[in-house]
Each structure stands twice: as structure tokens, then as C-alpha cells.
A and B are shown apart, each in its own frame.
Chain A
Amino acid sequence: MSARTKIFFYGTIVLFMIFSLCQPGLADVLEKAYHSPKQVNQQLKTWAKQYPQLVRLHTIGKSSGGCELLVLEIARRDSRLPSPGERPAVFIGGNPEGTHLVATEAALVLAEKILSRATKDEFTKKFLTTHTVYLAPLLNPDAAQRYFARVKVESMTNARPIDDDLDELVDEDGPEDLNKDGFITQMRVKDPEGTWIPDPKEPRLLRRADPKKGEKGIYKVYTEGVDNDGDGRYNEDPPGGVIVCQNFPHDFDYNNHQTGLWPVSEPETIALLKFLTSHKNIGFMLNFSSENTILNMKQTGRAQAGSDKVRVPRRFATFLGLDPEKEYTLKELVNILKGMNIGGGMEIDESMIAMMLGLGPAMDLDRQDRAYLEKIQEEYKEVLKKASLKYPEKRAQGVMKGSLTAYAYFQYGVPVLAVDVWQVPEPEKKKKETAETLTVEKLKKMSSEDFLALGEEKIAAFLKEQGAPPNFKAATVMEMVKSGRLTPARMAEFMAKMPRKTGGKDGDHPQAYLLEWSDKKLKGQGFVNWQPFDHPTLGKVEIGGFVPFVRTAPPVEEIKKAVDVHTDFFLDMLKKLPTLEIAEVKVKPLADQLYKVEIYLTNRGWWPTSTAQGRRARTAWPIRVELKLSAEQKVFSGRRVTTVPYIEGSGAVKKVEWTIIGKKGSRLEIVAWTPRLGKVKKSIVLSK
């Protein structure tokens, strides 16, 4: 071959290879690299073309940076089935942070599993005829895009230009990649007013000097870059933006302008909320994000009143004949008021009581809902254990202020589970856990005698390891257990609720685990070692620090197993959804032309038909039961249209009954409906 032909020939092969590698694989969407926002949308469009009977795409908006925001709808389309908008639906959200790239991959894998099982697996086949799945794998594409930029910057903001430093110039002072390594890391400068020192155990990491320990600060730390606008501050007005994942309306932080000047101010949040509020059939949410709310149920705010027990203000208490010093649950108050017949037939619910008493928004998980979430937690922990995922449970993050997951639970009123899928695993413990080592788990089941038998030394070591406050001495604890004031089980409860102690051993830098993992697994590529650099204004600096996305976008090989386990877990969660079904209808003739009609409604799923918080927020509607009578029929007792607040799961039943005046043989129809569970109806004939 001539040289030219050779170039052509090999060039074509190379191009072909590049092309095929870039093409989103059909059989295995999780390949060698993370999907860019463009590739994510590309994949969704490909699926829409591939599965026209199952998939539709909704364009819900555009990100600030102009990226299309797409929601994938998966539902078996058939004229004999109710339209997907009328079927109970699950919403699966991914990566509102934008930086948590693992979350987007997991969402794509989940979609792929559903699509590939749609024809093969019995459960999935049936599920897609009775339910709809909405899936949005990348809720903050602008932030994700920065991973794919020439210079990687880790920031959860969208691309909206904002004058962060209020100097009338917009986005004029962002970071620069001074050492041209493709990453924005940090700069440290020796400065007499510096407050940072190298960590004694791991000098690559910096920590604040503690004057109580005789330490004096050495460094000031900045983000890599120059002071573009000459105001003395560095990189204080970067390109972008608002932190989308904290722009949702529950417990919104009005004091942090980075999360928005007001809730739902960003095109990304507006698009998502418009979609959620216009699709009233969504009754369940599963999120892939930086949170793991299955393991960490801690909330961001404090309730004005306790989560469920409240005091009735004096002016209402005297009016209602209640004790203003006593604490009641909202449920008790509902029952008391119903008994008094206040409101004349108007539906009194917990939300109304809360509003009347001026209780403000709920800030804690409702006790009833929490019990269900704790059961899920048990299952999830089993799944993690079985898969030996080595997920570091103590580093599971709870919701942040203004989070999507918190909005979903508190305001949108649905059960919601959020998982982070993968976290940097704990470094191998030097001390092996023996059968004798005490853990919180063991403590739960221990008897007081066995506990005391461990001896003061072991108990002291255990308390120290768990991060108990220093005045919580072993001797004190043993006294309390001896006297019966404290049981091991109670102690285990306390410890589970204590703030988690991050960082492994005593005195370790909180990020030492990350550095260790970077050294071992990434061959040190997760950390840029401090190297000197001549800075135009700061003089001699050193540039270094963790590489952006080191925690949230590890090599794809690392996450494959975790993604597989978590997507399977979420698929299992789909089996627990509540249902609305008619268990039985009974017709009993009472007299000539007088019949008793009873309908037994049931929920054969595991979750109740709504969460207690959903009912309190009034976004989970009661079940509306309506009689459709024929012309000569009349309701003698009972209301033609009535509501059932909710039905517990596992086959619990609620009965609704009427007495009807009607001719023998006449027909009537009973319809039970609620937007999140769909409609069921039964036609009956008045006869024996």
C-alpha cells in the first residue's frame, strides 16, 4: 500500500474504534468512562427509539447552561391499559448535586435493567402494565459538565452567571489552572497570619493550628487561581451559579445566597417541580444522590414542637376543654375534635390541627413513617453485608438544607429513599474485630449482666472508640446499668443517634482515609503533591491538594459492583409499593327495596397508601370512594361520596358502607380513586 492508502486505511480503523467506543453500549451502559451530560441525553434518546412501546421522553426544560433536561418515561403502552399518566408512578432522580457522577451512572443502569427485563422478567413485565416509571438521571448537568471540561473544577453550582461578590462585575474572578495539570486544586502560602499547619501524622494534609496545643499557624490556603479583579480576594466570583441540590423549598437556607435568593429560583429546580406537581400520579421516589437517607435519617432543622407531641395553647385549650400543660399527639387531637363535632361534618385532619395551633412546618420524620424507614434500613444493611460492599456506614450523609429528598418527604409527601451508591471504603483496620470486640450492634442484644461482666477497661475502650463525650466515664455507665437506670439496649439507641465520628482512629485527620485510598487504589493519582509555584501577587506558593471529583467519580471499575447491588435493591423496593384494590363487595337486602352495600378496600403492598407526613402536608390525598347510582336509587345512610384517609399495607382492609334504597336488580357502580394509586371500580346489582 502506498503511504497515503496506509493512512487512509489505518485512520479509518482508528476512527471506527473511537466511534464504537463512544457509542453508548446497548448491552452494558456502564462502560469505561462516565457519561457526559450530552451522552446521558444521547442514551435516553437512543432508548426512546429502541423501545417505542415502552419509552417516551419528556423535555422538562433547559439548565442554565443550555443543556436539555430530560425525563425518561417507562410504561407499557397499550390502548387497553390506563394511560401512563393515570397509573401509579415511581420517580427516580439522579445526581442533583451534579458532582456525584456515580449517581448518574447508577440511574442509567437502573433504567437499562428495567428496559431489558421488561420482556423477560415476570414482575417487571407486570409492573410496567400497572405502573409508570419516570427517571431523570442527571438533574444538574451544568455542574456535571465541569468533570468533562479541559480543567476539572468540583462545584455543585449551575452555570447561571451571578455577581457573587456584588461588585457589579459578573463571574469576573474564577479559579485558574496555574500549574496546568488539568485540575483546580489549592494553593498554600506561608503567611504570618496563616492558620493552617501540615497534619503531624500526614503532612500532605492541612489542618487548623490549635493554639491550645502550642501550635502556631503557617499557611493561608486559597483555591488555585489569581485575583482577576484586583479586590484582594481570590476566586470569589467564579463562573456560575447556584447550588441546585439545595434550592428546594423544604428548610431552605435564606442566609446562603449560593443556594439561591429564594427557593426554586433555578431553571433546574423549576423544571423538576413543574414536572412533579403536574404528575400527580407519582407516589414514590427513589434518588441517587450524595445522601444516604436509608442509613442516615438525621434532619436539618428542629421542629417548633416535637415531631408528634404538641401542647395546645391556652386560648384553644380552655375553649376545647383540654389541659394546656399536657402533650397530645396530633392524632389524639384529631380524635378529640371529631368527638366534639366541631366543624360540622368538615373533614378534620392532622394538618388542620397543626395549622390551627400555628405549629409551622414539620421538621422531623413522623414516628409512624420512621418505623417503616427503619425496616427498610434493616433490609438494606443486610444487602450491604451480603454483598460485602464494605460501605462505610458511619460516613453516610443525611439530607442537606433545601434538599430534593427532604422536599419529597416533607412537602411532596411521598416515601423517598436516597442512596449514594458508593463511598471511598474504610482503610483496612489494623486491629481485627474479634468475637470479643464490643460493637453497638452487640450492645443492642446484650443483657445488663453480660455488659457489666466485660469490665471497666473494655467498656472504657468501647466508649472512647464510639466517640462518647469525655465525661461519660466507664464507671458512671456501669453504675447506671447496675442500678437499672440504663440498659445496654437503651445505650445502643443513644449511640446510634449520636453524631457520627468521622475519621478512623483517634487523632487521624478527617481526610486521612481518602489519602490512603488514593495512594493505594489510585496509585497516588487522587492527590496532587504540593509543588512550588511563583504566584503573581502571592509570591512563593505551593500548589496541591485533592483532585476534583476524587470522592464522587472514582475509576468506573470501582463502582460497578456497588451500582449493581444498589440498582437491584431499588428494583426490589418496587415490589413494596402500596396498591389500592377491592377485596370484596357485599350486598345485603335489609327489607323490600332497602339494601346494605359494603365495600372492603385493601392494600396488598407493603407501604401504607400514604405516609403520615404526606397526609399532614395534604399532598397525599385520601382515597375517594364514590357511588354511581342509577336513576331510581337513593342513598339512605352514608355519603354518596366519602373518603378513606389511608389503608395500611400487607392486606389491611378498610370498609365503607351505605344503605341504599333501590329496586331489586338495579345496578350501581362503586369507584375508589386516589391520584397516586389509580382507580378501581366494581359494578354491582342490588339483589340477594
Chain B
Amino acid sequence: MFNRITRIFVVIGMLGLILNFSPLSSLAGEKVHLTFDHYYDHAELTQALKALQQAYPQMMKVISLGKSYQGRDIWGVILNNPKTGPAEHKPGYYMDGNIHGNEIQGTEVVLYTIWYLLKNYGETELATRLLDEKAFYFIPTMNPDSRDWYIHKAADPNMPRSGLIPYDNDRDGVADEDGPEDLNGDGSITLMRKRDPNGNMKPHPDDPRILIPVRPGEKGEYILLGLEGIDNDGDGLVNEDGPGGYDMNRNYGFNWQPDYVQRGAGDYPFCFPETKATRDFLLAHPNIIGAQNFHNYGGMILRGPGAKNMGEPPLADRRVYDEIGRKGEKILPGYRYIVVYKDLYPVYGGSIDFIYNVLGAYTFSNELDMDYYGTLRELLGPASPQRGEKTPEDEELQRWRRYQRMLEEMFYHDHVLMGEQYTDWQPYKHPLYGDIEIGGVKKFGRRVSPLFKLAETCHRNAAFCLYHADQLPRLEFDGVKVTRMGGDMYQIDVALRNTRVTPTISAVALQKKLHRVDKFKIEGPQVKLLMAGQITDRLRQRVRPIDPQGKNFIWVKSGIPGYTRTEFRFLVKGKGKIKLIYDSLKGGYYTQTVDLK
């Protein structure tokens, strides 16, 4: 009844229908549309996560890890493909962002990573393999209270870094009573300056908006009064007791030091709800073996130790860090792979050291973004003053370099950001200081990604993290040989190969006995493990015995190191099909069926 033309139309129509619903095009794969030229406040983040979870209910779990000080949910996200196994059977990778309230772009990077993995599942080999073989754990924002303050209220690029629990910084018996104010109503906390013929600052000859210090003996024109604000409590000091006053990335329980040694550490480790919730999330997932904490800024890929007294990590672990870190420098051009205590400053009680030294997971901390100006950057050298003896010529060169940078920065504000993030000096009548001027760089003008750069920061850092995730342990059974020894006794030679740089047990975990070691199990009806060993030298038939102590498994004490093939020999009694299971806490769970005959 269908003539030829109708048949052709039907076929084309069917094809069209099929194509519409097939996941072949990447646009059709993106079920949730998110943009990364935008900073998500907590409500928007919540909405985005919920949308993703609804679109990918099998793969994604969103849970509240607890409430922040002001009662916002601290969201935890778990990505896992249940069809390839439960999350705890897979090596875990963890990411968090925004522990410091003003360092907001880490959240977007985490959100991007979640979104990227989900929308590329089934599209790219990497995303598919990663979601099938690894378990992912995310805390997009660890400090939602300060995040919302930073986004919506007057802030400056450096604050609020702390959480918002009131803290009596000036020890007057009242907490948080004297913070900065947005006197000129430009939405940011900028700077105050006052004309003063005896001041120690003068305007830069090429750009009067820039203040530079005078030389000894030179007459100045201004004094810098500090951040915008008034003396709220009449104690003669301005802005000495603002919101919060602690640093949550000094509150972790490894090499924790009290406030007088490490400013901001809090009264004791994990005394803040946010760090406690994060810790509990990490502890609940002991399969985590790779981690990332996002901060800003400076373009760095950091690893611990945070303080000299901790000592360097064992050599084997350093090699893992070096391989991944150096690759990172290629994925993130301009970023430097460096060590916290040596190349940055001492950090006691930081997350990076806790996750590595207590949980045995390789942790990097990326300082996102850098100054996106100064094409002469290499010529100009680093902005921070050199240490050591300086000649007068050195000092002049230092000055010149510093001022060049300031000019570059102003050029950037004028012609790249086109004035969006800079308030020029305007007069103001201050209750304490009298006639002053207020102006300066606004809160999004430094440290955070400018919106036009945000997507790149997200993608490149996500790419680095997914590269790290792909370097987590990945074992495969590499050859099984069964030899019948008589009766129903069999010798099984089986090898496991770790094709990645990360060992199944980190050297620090071995050294400090941080968690259980790997298990190699035999499972099957009526099967009995008689004896076992590791073949250390196949040519000379040397086997190191491992006593199963009457059980059907052995402890593999050193795990399977990175890029290593380890051979085992089992002597079992049984028949038929049995299973060999390599069960590593952080290295994954691998099964091989063997036929005893």
C-alpha cells in the first residue's frame, strides 16, 4: 500500500526522529544550560546543583553536609556511575572551593567540573571512563555565608576571607562592632586618602590616581588612611573589628598551631561548622586518594608541606606530585608548581596538609588566576621585594619595577575592564578625618577572574583536575595462570598492573599507618586458600611468602605502587569457578574469575 515516495518520506521521517533523540550531538547532550561568565551566589548555586541532579539522577547525588554558621546548606556532590559499581569501590577524587569567602571563583571551577563530566559522559572517552571508573566528591562552596556577603554586599578583593562567626578582634568585649563601610556607595570597600603636606605618599608623576611612597626627606602630599570606614565604637581605631576574624584554612587538625603562632586558627581544630562538615565528608569517603582545594590568587599549583617542621613528603610521593604538578604547568600556562612553606609562606593547620598527612590523599591547592596585565611581566620580574642585602641601585630598580606594574594595572582597568572595577578618587567628608578622598580598585577588580576570563579559568583548572583524577590508581589483571598440583589443589599465578603514577597506598599512609592496606581475596564455594606469596623474581623463582593466617585473603602491605606490575602466587583447594578480588581502600576493587581445572 505504501508507494515508493511515501516509503522514502517515512524513512527520512524516522531518521529525523531518531536523530533528534539520539545523543550524537553535543548540544543535545547538555541537559542543563549553565554559563560561566557569571558568579553564582548560594541560591543560584543551589538551583544549578538541583537542576543537574534532576537531569542526571543516576549519576549525581546532592547532599547537605551541614549548615554554615548562618544556616546555609553546605552542599556535597557525589558523582558515580552505579552501573559500574558502588562509589566506595572506586578510587575517589575530591574538590572543594571558596573556603576563603572572597576567593569565589573556585566554586565556578567545581561547578564547571561537575557539569563538564556529566554532559560529556557518553560523548568523550575520558569523561565516560572517568565517571565509570572513579568516584568524584565535590564541595562547591565551603563558605557560603561569606560568599554571599562578598557577592552582594560591599567588600574588597581581600575580604571577607573569614567565616561570619562574630570574633572580638580588638578585645573590647564586643564582637564585629567596627567593620568597614561603603561610604561612597559604589558597592565596594575602597581606600581613603587625605591631603597632607607632611604625608608620606605622593601621586605618581604619570598617573595621579596612583599613590607612591616618598623618598626619605622628600615632602609628600597625601596620607593613606586605609580601607573605607568610620570609627563605629569610638575607640580611636577605624575598622579594627570587622565581620568574622579567623581563617578556616588554618583550622584543620594536622600541625595545627594556636592563634599566636598561626593567625586565624581558631580555638581548636574543626571548631567551625564549615571545616567540621568538610572533614566529616572526607572521613565518610576513605576511598579518596586525590584532592584539590581552590583558592586565589597568583597562578600556582601548590603542594605541601605547609610548614618546615613537617619535613618533605617521602620521595615516592614527591615523584607522584612532581609528575602531576609539572603536567599541570602545561595545562595551565603561567601557573607555577611550587611548595607552600618554601616558595610561599608557612601555613599551619591547612587543609592541604590534613588531607595528605591524615587521610593519605595526594592534594594540590591551586591559586586561581593572576594579574592579567603587564606584557612586560617577564622583564619586570616578580612584584614582591627581594630579600637580602640590597644596593641603592637595586632599591631604585625595585621602585621602578613596582611603579611600572601599578601603571600597567591602571591601564588594564581603563582599557580592558573599561572602568567597571575602578572608582576614581572623590571627595568625602569623614566624621573623624575631615576632608578626605575615597577611591580605588573595586571588589571584582583584583584576585577573582574577570568575567571574560572565568570560563577559561574553569576549563583549564577542570582539565588539570580531571588529568589528576585520571592519574589515580588504575589496576588491571595482567595474566592468570592456573596449574593443577594434584587432587583439588591448584597453584594460581596472577599479576596486577597499575597503569597510573598514583600507588594504591601512598608512601605517607604506609609510613604513618593511616588506613588499612590492600586485600587480595579468594571467593568461591568450598574454596580454601592454603598459602600465598608475592613472586619477587620470576626468573629465579623467588616467592616472598604471605601467610593468610587461615583466612581466604592476604594483606598486601605495600599495595601496588605506581607504574608497577606485581605478581602473586596462590595455593588453593577447591574446584570450579572462583573469583580473585583485589580490594584496595583507595586503589579500587577489581575482580577476576578463574576456572579451577
Contacts and interface: CB of A to CB of B under 8 A. Distances in A.
B269 A230 contact: no
Contact of B235 (A167, A254, A315, A640): A640
B234 interface: yes
B549 A257 contact: no
Interface string A103-137: 00000000000000000000000000000000000
29 contacts: A163-B516, A249-B256, A249-B268, A254-B255, A262-B254, A262-B269, A262-B270, A263-B256, A263-B268, A264-B268, A264-B271, A273-B271, A315-B388, A318-B389, A354-B260, A355-B263, A361-B257, A361-B260, A617-B259, A617-B260, A618-B260, A619-B258, A619-B259, A621-B171, A626-B235, A640-B234, A640-B235, A641-B172, A675-B173
B268 A273 contact: yes
Nearest to A615: B260
A343 B252 CA distance: 30
A360 B171 contact: no
Given A249-B268, A360-B261, A361-B261, A261 B253 contact: yes
A230 B260 contact: no
Interface in A253-299: 254-255, 257, 261-265, 269-270, 273, 277
Interface string B209-228: 00000000000000000000
Nearest to A265: B253
B196 to A, nearest CB: 14
Nearest to A257: B513
Given A167-B516, A168-B516, A261-B358, A641 B258 contact: no
Interface of B: 171-173, 234-236, 252-261, 263, 267-271, 309, 346, 354, 357-358, 387-389, 512-513, 515-517, 549-551
Q: Is the interface of A mostly helix, strand, loop or mixed?
A: loop
Nearest to A264: B268
Contact of A263 (B260, B269, B513): B269
A263 B354 CA distance: 12
B289 to A, nearest CB: 16
Given A254-B255, A264-B253, A619-B259, 12 more contacts: A166-B517, A230-B549, A262-B354, A263-B253, A270-B268, A273-B268, A277-B268, A351-B260, A618-B260, A624-B171, A626-B235, A639-B236
Contact of B309 (A264, A360, A616, A626): A360
A411 B171 contact: no
A315 B384 CA distance: 14
Contact of B171 (A250, A270, A314, A622): A622
Contact of A230 (B235, B346, B550): B550
A358 B261 CA distance: 8
B113 to A, nearest CB: 28
B235 A262 contact: no
A484 interface: no
B347 to A, nearest CB: 12
A469 to B, nearest CB: 31
Contacts of A616: 260
A231 interface: yes
Contacts of B172: 624, 641
Nearest to B309: A360
Nearest to B515: A166
A255 B512 contact: yes
A277 B266 CA distance: 10
A269, A411, A616 interface centre (most CB from chain B within 10 Å) = A411
Contact of B549 (A231, A249, A360): A231
B400 to A, nearest CB: 20
Contacts, number: 96
A371 to B, nearest CB: 22
A539 interface: no
A360 B389 contact: no
Contacts of A673: 173
Contacts of A411: 258
B354 to A, nearest CB: 7
A470 interface: no
B328 to A, nearest CB: 28
Contacts of B271: 264, 273
Contacts of B253: 261-265
B516 A249 contact: no
A631 to B, nearest CB: 13
Contacts of A339: none
A232 interface: yes
B6 to A, nearest CB: 67
Interface in A305-357: 314-315, 318, 351, 354-355
Contacts of B388: 314-315
Contact of A166 (B256, B260, B263, B513): B513
Given A262-B358, A318-B389, A641 B269 contact: no
A537 to B, nearest CB: 12
A641 B549 contact: no
Contact of B236 (A264, A358, A617, A641): A641
A675 B389 CA distance: 45
A-B interface, 9 closest residue pairs, ranked by CB to CB distance from nearest? A262-B253, A641-B235, A264-B268, A277-B267, A166-B516, A351-B260, A411-B258, A617-B260, A315-B387
Contacts of A626: 235
Contacts of B512: 255
Contacts of A265: 253, 269
Nearest to A351: B260
A269 B270 CA distance: 12
Contacts of B252: 262
A14 B549 CA distance: 55
A626 B271 CA distance: 32
A355 B346 CA distance: 11
B263 A360 contact: no
Nearest to B550: A230
A619 B268 CA distance: 13
Contacts of A273: 267-268, 271
Nearest to B234: A640
Contacts of B358: 261-262
Contacts of A361: 257-258, 260-261
B313 to A, nearest CB: 14
Contact of A360 (B234, B254, B257): B257
Contacts of B387: 315
Contacts of A166: 513, 515-517
Contact of B261 (A255, A261, A355, A624): A355
Nearest to A277: B267
A354 to B, nearest CB: 7
A253 B260 CA distance: 20
Given A262-B256, A315-B388, A641-B235, A230 B516 contact: no
B557 to A, nearest CB: 11
Nearest to A350: B260
Nearest to A168: B516
A355 B262 CA distance: 8
A618 B259 contact: yes
Contacts of A354: 260-261
A289 B388 CA distance: 50
B350 to A, nearest CB: 13
A543 B80 CA distance: 54
Nearest to A411: B258
B214 to A, nearest CB: 15
B516 A264 contact: no
A273 B267 CA distance: 8
B333 to A, nearest CB: 32
A410 B257 CA distance: 11
Contacts of A621: 171
B434 to A, nearest CB: 16
A397 B516 CA distance: 36
Interface in A205-243: 230-232
Nearest to B357: A254
Contacts of B257: 360-361
A270 B150 CA distance: 31
A359 B244 CA distance: 26
A618 B256 CA distance: 17
Contact of A249 (B235, B260, B269, B309): B269
